[in-house]
């Protein structure tokens, strides 16, 4: 029963996370903490998240753009370290509520200004990537912040998801190595169940692709904004 429930959770998280470019960890971590200690939870979700990044790149490979990934991702990774160095003197609850307020204000702005976009050029990608990495380092929720900045560019659906997947893959690879070096293990998670969860995550990503294909490009940005609004409300109300 436990494996079945985790598989169902993985399916839901993978589907939502592929559509929106973020949210897999946001959905899975709080639930899995009912079963496992934090180190096991982070490692398990990290592995599933890593494969989820692979599925995003594979299923939406027509949108893969090396130039955008590098110009957005490299500054983001570098400035994430800078942002992370600033968090230790600030309350975690305060940070979460600030981020929640930022997400709510952003989504309200987008609802009232649906045509607002940033120029899609190299300089803006570098600045956007740096800003998203810096904010992710401070707030600790990289996917939501990265998706917020990417959505301002109003990218084509496949480009948005593939870019989010590629940047996420680099970050997830680094954190999985960090977990391993720190001695994290899967604990009571049976090794034969891990391929089940990975397989289910692929099924969820496949379902998400079918859903994304049916979402008109002009409303895709609104879909992302709705999920960002939900995350922002959650951070303000339940931090």
Q: What is the pLDDT of residue 68?
A: 85
Of 141, 163, 144, 149, the C-alpha closest to 57 is 163
Q: What is the pLDDT of residue 123?
A: 87
CA distance 26 to 29: 6
If you count them, how many residues does the chain have?
239
- The residue segments making up the domain with residue 199 are 2-238
Tokens of 86: 């600033």
Give, rounded to a whole angstrom, the gap between the first and last alpha carbons of the chain: 30
Say what the pTM is: 0.82
**Sequence-ordered list of residues with C-beta below 8 angstroms from that of 105, at least 6 positions apart, any chain:** none
**Consecutive H or E run containing 100:** helix 92-112
Digitized pLDDT (tens) for each residue of the chain, 239 residues in all: 688 999 999 999 999 999 998 888 888 888 888 888 878 888 898 899 999 999 999 999 998 888 888 988 888 888 877 776 666 666 767 777 888 898 899 899 888 887 788 787 888 888 888 887 787 767 656 777 788 888 888 889 999 999 989 988 888 887 788 778 778 788 777 778 889 999 999 999 999 999 999 999 888 988 898 999 998 898 888 76
Q: How many domains does the chain have?
A: 1
Tokens of 156: 């084509």
**Sequence-ordered list of residues with C-beta below 8 angstroms from that of 163, at least 6 positions apart, any chain:** 63, 64, 65, 68, 69, 72, 73, 150, 155
Could you identify the residue written with the tokens 């560019």? 153
Could you identify the residue written with the tokens 């709510």? 104
CA distance 64 to 53: 12
Q: What is the pLDDT of residue 198?
A: 94
CA distance 77 to 87: 16
Contact 88, 121 (CB under 8 A): no
Q: What is the pLDDT of residue 89?
A: 64
Q: What is the pLDDT of residue 60?
A: 94
CA distance 42 to 102: 26
DSSP 94: H
């Amino acid at each position: 029963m436990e494996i079945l429930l985790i598989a169902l959770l993985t399916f839901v998280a993978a589907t939502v996370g592929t559509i929106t470019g973020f949210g897999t960890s946001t959905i899975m971590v709080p639930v899995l903490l009912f079963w496992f200690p934090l180190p096991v939870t982070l490692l398990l979700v990290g592995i599933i998240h890593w494969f989820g990044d692979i599925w995003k790149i594979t299923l939406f490979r027509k949108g893969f753009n090396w130039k955008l990934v590098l110009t957005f991702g490299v500054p983001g990774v570098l400035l994430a370290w800078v942002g992370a160095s600033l968090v230790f003197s600030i309350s975690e609850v305060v940070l979460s509520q600030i981020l929640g307020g930022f997400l709510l204000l952003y989504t309200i702005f987008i609802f009232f200004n649906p045509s607002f976009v940033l120029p899609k050029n190299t300089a803006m990608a570098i600045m956007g990537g740096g800003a998203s990495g810096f904010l992710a380092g401070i707030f600790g929720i990289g996917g939501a912040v990265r998706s917020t900045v990417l959505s301002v560019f109003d990218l084509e659906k496949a480009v948005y998801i593939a870019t989010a997947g590629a940047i996420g893959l680099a970050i997830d690879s680094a954190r999985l190595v960090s977990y391993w070096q720190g001695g994290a293990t899967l604990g009571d998670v049976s090794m034969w169940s891990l391929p089940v969860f990975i397989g289910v995550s692929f099924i969820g990503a496949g379902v998400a692709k079918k859903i994304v294909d049916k979402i008109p490009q002009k409303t895709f940005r609104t879909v992302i904004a709705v999920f960002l609004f939900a995350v922002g409300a959650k951070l303000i109300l339940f931090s």
